[in-house]
Each structure stands twice: as structure tokens, then as C-alpha cells.
A and B are shown apart, each in its own frame.
Chain A
């Protein structure tokens, strides 16, 4: 960072972006919540709105006022940092804020969605017992998420990574008296924790090599940095050293290994197959939480992490391939399941999985030679945040009205809930990739990236899934808003209060227009040799036409099957038989996990260890005590209590000793 550069207010005081939500969390949680629930909600919401304004200001300064910004050159720098944790010399973790295009972009996304969700929640959770608690958690989440996106080093990333996990845990388990919610919260935490183990180990490996290279590299590279800093780890010289000196383990180079481990963490957070199982269950949380955490922000943290570490991933091409193929597989897999689910939130959850798959494989197919995927992935992350949050909030609005999650309990709501209906329709079209809504642009870019990079198979998957996405989203839309009222709840449904509708409208506006942002101008892969990568935007007709065609086909199919009576789809699902039930049961992956944890780990590891400890180890202790006692009682028999016997022993002892001495005295002569 050039010292002479003039910084604006927001960049100069960048710490505020973390301080505002953090202190709001503390104050609301400790002081306001016990006094008044209502006030807690209002203060928490205001604080996040303030943070959002600050983030906009910061983004404006970063993208428009810095030198070179208007030419599309956005340098990464750390406007604020303090020493936080000193492991040892040259191994210091600081708490700071890194501004680069993707972090600033995500600050905007997070604060926007978060503030809207806060506002929406004041209506959605009105009158509930845990109102104050809810807003405390929500503030904590926002703080942690902002800490995550602004992290200048991998340890701060990990710290906030865990904190978002914990706040997600708390929010999923918000209805703590409901066993399913508690189980879902537990599952989400444990699965992501398992993935984080990979992250942690990857971090240890990176930390070790980073530390080693840190001492070997010239000061021009290490100036003002620490081994854990992203700016150091992603430096091309470090990458080169990694390749040269990293060594290998079991035939896999260590850099690939560490990146795959880091990716494991990312896959856990972003719910990539086979660590996706927590996300559908996480829908037990209140719907605004699902919108914020499990659709727009936290789940994209994995994508963000891969993007952050992209230069290191690029060093190891194999790791990127893993990212690409796991992403593409999840994309298809989740879309398949999404077509069969009945719970509106679960459909949305699987669609999130599928969209995250898009983002991941977009990153996986890109490279420094072919940087379009990077931009496309971030672009899709950006647009997806808005339309998916909108879908969830819309779903929340419907659930609020109907008091059920099942789409088959709804129906015919388009007249009763006009605002919800229109916004939901916009979001559905956006996610389906219909021109000119935002999803069209970003998905189009991802597909072009896959095609251009030569991964034709992934491109085909992407194209197919685009059609499936359109199909299952339209299915939800038709079943929910068209047809007849299927239940009493749907019959008595009425439109939600304005605090819930305003966020919907704002998000709808974003969903319509965010596609027109010249995204490549702001976010593109920094090329390893300074300067900017040659990413380009614009519509590629060779991709746009087929993708629009499959999307329209998907919508048409959904309309054919679901807009009127549903006998056709029943016949179809019946004819598919086992395949249908397998998909509907999510390929029985949950059951496999349950089997492994309960049957194998608990029964064959934990229980035997507990038994072993109580019986063998502790048995050894008791055995030695028993032995001592037995020896004692055995020897005590010799104690007759007769002093004369003792005396006789004594005298014979003395005589014996004398005898020995006497004999010895012979030997001496």
C-alpha cells in the first residue's frame, strides 16, 4: 500500500465495518435484550443498516476513488490491522481488513442481505419469545461473516469461519424446544466441523511452508507481511517455491494435498457433495436465517475461500480439477434431488447446493490463461445472493401466511399475496436464467467459461442443470401460486406486513438489475505478473441461446405438469419407481452417514474405549489396590499379637545375624 495515497473516510476507518456489528452484538446481547425485546430488534437492525451504509461508502471509495480504479485496476491492500495472536516471532496473526475486489464486493452483499433480513425478521418473528436472542445471534453472524470476508490472513479467516459456523448452529437451533431443529443444528455444526478439520490441517501445512519460505524469500516479497497472510501465500514467488520445494506425500505433491484439504473445509461450508447433508436439514431454522446464512452469505464462504486462495490452487492444477468436478457433480446431483422435494425450503436448499456447484466449477475451470471463470463465479455469487435471498424471503412470507412448509399445502396464492407472488416470480425467472434478469448473465458467463476452458463435459452438465433448475423452480412456483387452495391455511392466507414486503421489493430490484453491472470491470483474476487478467464480459450467443432454450423448456415442462391438475406428474413418478424414490430420499446419503457414525464410530470405537477404560485401565488400578490389600492381609497373619513370639523372632534374628558374621569372620582369615 502506497503510503502517500489519500484514503477516503471509509477506507481510513475500515475497522468500523467490524466494530459496528460486533459492538452492536455485545450491547444488544448483554444490555438491551434483557430490558426490551422490541428495542433489541430495532437497535440490531439499525446497526446493520449503518454497517451497510458504511460498506457502500467503502465500496464506492475502493472502486471509484482510488488511483487507477477507473481504469479497472484494483489493488489489494490492508487499510487496517492490529496484532492479535503472536504464535512466535515471524508467526504473528493480525486482525485486519483486506480490501480487494472480491472482499469489497462481498462486504456489500453481506451487509445488504443482512440488513434486509434484519428488517424482514422484525416482522417475521414478531411476538416470539426468543426475539431478542434471535437478533443477538443475527448480529453475531453478520460480524463473523464480515470478519471472514475481510480477513487478510488465513487464521482470521478460519476464526471467523468457525464463528459463522457457530452462529449458524445457534440460529438453526433457534427453536430449541423442537427436536428436529436441535438435531439439524447439531448435524450442521458437526459436519462442517469435520470439514474444518481439513481446513485446519491444510492451514498447518500452509503455515509451515509459508514460515519456511518466509525466511528464504527476499524482503521485497515479505515486506510488511506475515506467513499466514493471503497476500504472502498467494504471491507468485511463494507458489513457485511451493512447486519446487513442497515435496510430496504418498505421491501427491504437498501443495495439492494442502489445497485439497483446504478445499475440504470449503466444501463443508459450501455443502459440496458428500458434505452437503447438513444444508437441507439446516432449513429447520427460521426462514430469514435460511435466506441470510444458508443461501446468500455463509454457504458461499467456501467459494470465497477457493477464490481467495485461487493463485495457490492454480499452482496445483490437480486441486483445481477436484474443485471443478466435485462442483459439477454436486450441481447435477442437487438439481436432481431438488426436482422431487415437497418442502419449499428444501427445494430451495437443494437449488442453493446446485448453484454453489456452479460457482465452484466455474472456479475449477478457470486458470491464469483462462480467467473468465473466476469473474463468472464471483458474478454468480453476487447475483445468486440476491435472487436466492429473495426466494427464501418469499418462501418465508408464504410459510408465514400458510403455516406449513409443504408446497402441497399451498396453491392459488397469487391473488392473495400479490407482492410475494410477483417478487417470487422475478426470482424464479432470475435463477432460471431468463434474459434480462441477473441470473441469465452470470450463468451465461459460467457456461462460457466452462466451454472456453475446454471442459466440454462440465459445460454439458451446466447446461442440463440450467434446464433442471428452471424446471424445479417453476414447479415450486406453479404449485405454490397457481391452481386451487389445497388447504384451509392456503385459503385464509393473506399478504405479509410491509416490513416483510419492503425487503422483497428491494431484493427484486437487485435481482432484475444486478446482471447489468459490468462485473468484469470490477472483479477479475489478478494476473500473477501484476496488472489485470484479460477477463471479458458480454453475452456469448453460442452459449446464451442454448441455455435460454433449455431454461424455457424446463419452465414449459413444469407448466405442463404442475400448473393445472397433478395427475400427469403422479403417473410419471410412479412409472419411474425405484429411481424416483431413491432420488426423493436424497440417494440415502443421510442413512449412510447415520450408519457410519452411530453404528461404527459410537458402537465400535467410543463404547469399547469407555468399556476399556472402566474395566481394563481402571481395572489395573483396582487390581493393584486389590493385590496390595491381599498381600497386607496375608502378611498380617504373622502378627499373632503375642509379644513373646515377636521376641523369639527377634532373638533368632539376632542370633542368625551373629552366626552369619561369625562365619564371615572365618572367611576373612
Chain B
């Protein structure tokens, strides 16, 4: 059993351990979950080191590579008759996503320290879900990828339906159904690739070597892009996100907005753009236009929201728009920006939802106009909230700026396949969102935390507990580290972005 398999196995074993712990001892369950995810964090650090050792000598040669290069690969046949294998490995992009997930799940467990209802089932489902997420990020066999993908999506239904708030059954059902529709598109796309490639294999690398005629690419690319886009909150398939996030319990929102929505961008880049470069060239501008709507629409939508979670969900729609915008803009900087944005938004929105959960746990309201002056009684949470807010409006020094500036530059520099003026206009429109973001973030923050205390019972609220401090502190530190030293993340992902771009140029051609 190799290291990469352990990345998936460890959360699974933690799930088993949680299941085996007596349900009456919720304290022990929490500790098992915390230890398991904490151990995963260490494992991730170790794997990152290993990956770095293995991959860094190849960095110069990747500049001209046409196929992504995987490290720490494990391969064994699964359903040989259909060419399905257990094929896991790592490249820079998946490594970055693994780090993100590992941080989010650990902090998520920390943030759900006070779940008292059916604690055991909660943590078991949460860890099952995260097993699926890790699986998606390491698998390079599309069948395996899909299996894990579904594993990551489904537990969400129960998690929201059972532990949620508000119209939770409705939200859970809506979320699950919409994501299932996306999955259906993805499945059809994957099967089409499998059959048309003639390789009798689901292996991403093998599929990448096959040739697909341009008509086929033109049909399948939007299918895959929209399929993944549903999870990445692509307009107009984003409406599960506000309801879903608003109803979900804290850790689930964190995990969902922080990590699951990233599966969308990840899949679009890794599968749709990687395998179907001509399709991407055909559809790029169209999807840039759609994601520009995403970006502006999400940010304008957030201005008038009253509920903190709706507010953050709309801001997520806007920020995830940047991910898909970067993917659709098809060049080096925009791809890099998209990946950094995935990482950055994951951490940031994890922090946001974590904090909202903590504030809600104290004030018992999430309605922005009902709150006020909370900075006085909970300075730690207020500080973290301000940091998250400033990061989300793209303040340099936090990771959001690195991501957004890359995406803007990428969009503005254009690519050889699309009308550069159109791309520039779209980019400039997207750029305008930085102002709108500032407006809604500052308005929201000012109302909740600044000003005089509006309600007498807020006077006696307490600041963050130790676990909450660990959780939020870690996320803030990650935001700052990536923002101040973007080289750390860029070096990790850069070598894996080159093949994506090189393929676009090698398998070029205009329609």
C-alpha cells in the first residue's frame, strides 16, 4: 500500500474508528475524528515533501511536456474486462488540492466540536465524504474518479437533511438533485470519451494520448464543463449553493464550499480541458461570458442579502466564477490563477463559514440587521472575520489577490483562439467585481461587528474557545502564507499547468 492510497485510506479508517466508538461517548468520537484528521494533516505534509523530492528535478522538463506527469503512482487492475483500474497518483494540482482538503477537514472537525445530536453519525458521514474528496483528487482513472466523486456528493444529503437548519430537507434535496444532474452529464461525457478514444481504458493519461475529432470535442466539452460547472456553481446552475450552504451545519458548509465546489473547477481543468483541447478552444469565450455573469451576478446578489450564510454563499458564487473564468480563459496565467483561486477560496470560505457557525452558536441569529457591535465581546472572531473579509475582497497579502490578479492578467492577455477584444471586455467587467465585493463585504462586516452593541444579551457573549482559535488561526495563517509567499503554491502547481497549456497549443487549430 503506497503513500497516496494512505491519503484516502486514513480518513476511511478514521470513519471506521468513529463507527466503532460507542455512540454515548461523544467526547471520544470528537477526539477520534480530530486525531484522525490531525494525523492526516501530518501525512499530507509528509506526502508533500515526498512529492516535492520526486517532482522537483523534473520541473525544467515540464515546460514543454504534453502529458501531465504523475508521481507516487499506484496502479492495479480492477475490472480488467472493461479496462478499469485502481490508478492513483499525484501531480502539482492534485497535491495543492489535497493540502487544501486536509486543512479544511481538520479545521472543520475543530469547528464542529459542539455537535451533540447524533455525533457519531455526523462525524462518520463527514469523514466518508472527505474520503471521497481525497479519492477524487488522487485518482487518475476516470471510473475511479467518478466513484469517488459520487461518494463525495451523496453524504451531503444526509448531513444537511439531518443536522441542518431552516428548510433543510428542501435544501438537501435540491442540492443533491442538482449535483446528480451534473453527475449525469459527467458520466455520459466520461463514457463517450471511453468509447470514442478506442483505448479501452479509463486511464486519464492513456485517454490523453488518443485523438478525438473536433466534432466530438465540440459536443462533449460543454457536457463535461457544465457537469462539473454545476458543482462549481456555474451560472445558472448555482442556485443549490445559497440554499444548501444556508441550511448546512458549520463543518458541512466549510467542507462543501471549501472543497467540494473545487471539484468542479478541478474536473473542468483536469478532464474537460486536458482531454478536449479543441472543445475548449471552441467554447472558451462562451464560458468566459457565462462566468463573467457569475462573477458580477454573485457579487451584486450578495449586496442585499440579510442572512450571513446567504451572503457568503453569493460571494462564493462570485469567487467560484473566477475559478471557472480562469479555466475558460485558456492560458498559463489564467490556469494558474484558477488553481490558486480554488485553494484560496477554499481556505477563505472555510474560514467564513466556520466563523459564521461560531457567531451563530453564540447569537442564535444569522440575520445581519439583527446583529451589531459584536467586536467588543468577541474580538478574536471579529478579527478573523475582518481578515476573511479583506482576503475575500482581494487584499494583497492574502491569497485572493494572487489568484485574482493572475486570472485578470490571463484574461487580459488573451489566447490565440478567441477574439482578444471580447476577452478583454469580459475581463474588465469581471474586474469591476472587486469594487462590488468591497461594498458588500465592508457593509456586512460593519453591521455585524462594528457600531454599538444592539442587543442587551450580546453583552455577555464569550469569545472563541481553544478549538475555535486553532481552527480559525490555522486558516488565517494559511491565507497569509500563500498571500505573502505565493511562490510556495506556484512552485507546486506550475509544472503541472504547463502540460495543459502546451496541449492547447499542440492540438490547436481554429474552427
A residues sitting closer than 8 Å to B (CB atoms) are 83-88, 91, 155, 158-160, 162-163, 166, 169-170, 173, 176-179, 182-183, 185-186, 189-190, 193-194, 196-197, 200-201, 204-205, 207-208, 211, 597, 602, 605-607, 609-610, 613, 617-618, 620-621, 625
CB distance from A584 to the nearest CB of B (A): 28
- Contact residues in B for A200 (Cβ distance below 8 Å): 408, 431, 434
Given contacts A610-B304, A617-B239, A621-B174, 18 further A-B contacts (CB under 8 A): A85-B402, A85-B487, A88-B333, A159-B396, A159-B397, A159-B401, A162-B395, A163-B395, A177-B451, A179-B450, A193-B438, A197-B431, A204-B409, A204-B431, A207-B409, A609-B300, A621-B240, A625-B177
Given A211-B413, A621-B178, A621-B239, also A162-B401 (CB < 8 A): yes
Kindly identify, within residues 297 to 351 of chain B, every residue whose CB is under 8 Å from any CB belonging to chain A.
297, 300-301, 303-305, 332-333, 336
- Contact residues in B for A185 (Cβ distance below 8 Å): 446
- Contact residues in A for B431 (Cβ distance below 8 Å): 197, 200-201, 204
Report the Cα distance A625→B176, complex, angstroms: 12
Kindly identify, within residues 384 to 438 of chain B, every residue whose CB is under 8 Å from any CB belonging to chain A.
386, 390, 393, 395-397, 401-402, 405-406, 408-409, 412-413, 427-428, 431-432, 434-435, 438
Given A159-B396, A176-B451, also A618-B239 (CB < 8 A): yes
Report the Cα distance A201→B411, complex, angstroms: 12
Interface presence of B91 (CB below 8 A):
no
Q: Which 6 A-B pairs have the closest CB atoms?
A: A159-B396, A606-B303, A182-B450, A618-B239, A176-B450, A193-B438
- Contact residues in A for B376 (Cβ distance below 8 Å): 177
- Contact residues in B for A88 (Cβ distance below 8 Å): 332-333, 336
Report the Cα distance A88→B413, complex, angstroms: 12
Report the Cα distance A205→B425, complex, angstroms: 12
Q: Does B450 contact A173, Cβ atoms closer than 8 Å?
A: yes
Given A91-B333, A189-B438, also A85-B301 (CB < 8 A): no
Interface presence of B195 (CB below 8 A):
no
Report the Cα distance A84→B435, complex, angstroms: 25
Given A88-B332, A166-B395, also A606-B300 (CB < 8 A): yes
List 23 A–B pairs whose Cβ atoms lie within 8 Å, in order of A's numbering: A84-B487, A85-B405, A85-B490, A86-B487, A87-B333, A87-B406, A87-B409, A88-B333, A170-B386, A177-B451, A182-B446, A193-B434, A200-B434, A201-B431, A204-B412, A207-B412, A597-B439, A606-B300, A610-B304, A617-B238, A617-B239, A618-B239, A625-B174
Q: Does B395 contact A201, Cβ atoms closer than 8 Å?
A: no
Given A176-B451, A620-B236, also A162-B396 (CB < 8 A): yes
- Contact residues in A for B140 (Cβ distance below 8 Å): none
Contact with A along B353-374 (1 / 0, CB 8 A): 0000000000000000000010
Report the Cα distance A625→B434, complex, angstroms: 35
Q: Does A190 contact B438, Cβ atoms closer than 8 Å?
A: yes
Report the Cα distance A185→B438, complex, angstroms: 12
Contact with A along B96-124 (1 / 0, CB 8 A): 00000000000000000000000000000
- Contact residues in B for A91 (Cβ distance below 8 Å): 333, 409
- Contact residues in B for A163 (Cβ distance below 8 Å): 395-397
CB distance from A168 to the nearest CB of B (A): 12
A197's nearest neighbour on chain B, judged by CB, is B435
Q: Does B446 contact A606, Cβ atoms closer than 8 Å?
A: no
- Contact residues in B for A85 (Cβ distance below 8 Å): 402, 405, 486-487, 490
- Contact residues in A for B402 (Cβ distance below 8 Å): 85
Overall SS of chain B's interface: helix
B486's nearest neighbour on chain A, judged by CB, is A85
B396's nearest neighbour on chain A, judged by CB, is A159
CB distance from B458 to the nearest CB of A (A): 12
Interface presence of B494 (CB below 8 A):
yes
B485's nearest neighbour on chain A, judged by CB, is A84
Report the Cα distance A555→B356, complex, angstroms: 57
B382's nearest neighbour on chain A, judged by CB, is A176
Report the Cα distance A620→B373, complex, angstroms: 39
- Contact residues in B for A86 (Cβ distance below 8 Å): 487, 490, 494
Interface presence of B375 (CB below 8 A):
yes
Interface presence of B9 (CB below 8 A):
no
Interface presence of B221 (CB below 8 A):
no
Q: Does B486 contact A84, Cβ atoms closer than 8 Å?
A: yes
Contact with A along B434-472 (1 / 0, CB 8 A): 110011001100100111110000000000000000000
A616's nearest neighbour on chain B, judged by CB, is B236
Q: Does A83 contact B451, Cβ atoms closer than 8 Å?
A: no
Report the Cα distance A182→B444, complex, angstroms: 12
Given A606-B300, A610-B304, A617-B239, also A183-B395 (CB < 8 A): no
- Contact residues in A for B442 (Cβ distance below 8 Å): 169, 186, 189-190
Report the Cα distance A625→B181, complex, angstroms: 12
Report the Cα distance A324→B365, complex, angstroms: 52
- Contact residues in A for B236 (Cβ distance below 8 Å): 617, 620
Q: Does A602 contact B304, Cβ atoms closer than 8 Å?
A: yes
A610's nearest neighbour on chain B, judged by CB, is B304
CB distance from B265 to the nearest CB of A (A): 19
Q: Does B297 contact A609, Cβ atoms closer than 8 Å?
A: yes
One of A162, A186, A196 near B443 (C-beta < 8 A): A186
Most-contacted residue by chain A among B336, B393, B401, B405 (CB, 10 A): B405
CB distance from B338 to the nearest CB of A (A): 13
Report the Cα distance A177→B373, complex, angstroms: 6
Most-contacted residue by chain A among B243, B301, B487 (CB, 10 A): B301
Given A85-B490, A189-B438, A621-B239, also A204-B443 (CB < 8 A): no
Report the Cα distance A67→B52, complex, angstroms: 46
Report the Cα distance A159→B239, complex, angstroms: 34
CB distance from B306 to the nearest CB of A (A): 10
- Contact residues in B for A162 (Cβ distance below 8 Å): 395-397, 401
- Contact residues in A for B390 (Cβ distance below 8 Å): 166
Report the Cα distance A247→B429, complex, angstroms: 21
Report the Cα distance A190→B428, complex, angstroms: 18
CB distance from A174 to the nearest CB of B (A): 11
Report the Cα distance A160→B427, complex, angstroms: 23
Q: Does A155 contact B435, Cβ atoms closer than 8 Å?
A: no
Report the Cα distance A87→B301, complex, angstroms: 31
Report the Cα distance A96→B431, complex, angstroms: 26
- Contact residues in A for B428 (Cβ distance below 8 Å): 201
B434's nearest neighbour on chain A, judged by CB, is A197
Q: Does A186 contact B486, Cβ atoms closer than 8 Å?
A: no
CB distance from A362 to the nearest CB of B (A): 30
Q: Does B450 contact A177, Cβ atoms closer than 8 Å?
A: yes
Given A163-B397, A176-B449, A617-B239, also A155-B405 (CB < 8 A): yes
Report the Cα distance A211→B402, complex, angstroms: 19
- Contact residues in B for A602 (Cβ distance below 8 Å): 303-304
CB distance from B354 to the nearest CB of A (A): 20
- Contact residues in A for B401 (Cβ distance below 8 Å): 159, 162
Q: Does A609 contact B301, Cβ atoms closer than 8 Å?
A: yes
CB distance from B304 to the nearest CB of A (A): 5
Q: Does A182 contact B487, Cβ atoms closer than 8 Å?
A: no
Q: Does B239 contact A613, Cβ atoms closer than 8 Å?
A: yes
CB distance from A641 to the nearest CB of B (A): 27
Q: Does A179 contact B239, Cβ atoms closer than 8 Å?
A: no
A162's nearest neighbour on chain B, judged by CB, is B396
- Contact residues in B for A201 (Cβ distance below 8 Å): 428, 431
Most-contacted residue by chain A among B333, B409, B449, B486 (CB, 10 A): B409
- Contact residues in B for A166 (Cβ distance below 8 Å): 390, 395
- Contact residues in B for A617 (Cβ distance below 8 Å): 235-236, 238-239
Q: Does B439 contact A190, Cβ atoms closer than 8 Å?
A: yes
Most-contacted residue by chain B among A158, A173, A194, A609 (CB, 10 A): A609
- Contact residues in A for B453 (Cβ distance below 8 Å): 177
CB distance from B502 to the nearest CB of A (A): 13
Q: Does B450 contact A610, Cβ atoms closer than 8 Å?
A: no
Report the Cα distance A186→B238, complex, angstroms: 30
Contact with A along B181-193 (1 / 0, CB 8 A): 0000000000000
- Contact residues in A for B449 (Cβ distance below 8 Å): 176
- Contact residues in A for B174 (Cβ distance below 8 Å): 621, 625
- Contact residues in B for A605 (Cβ distance below 8 Å): 300
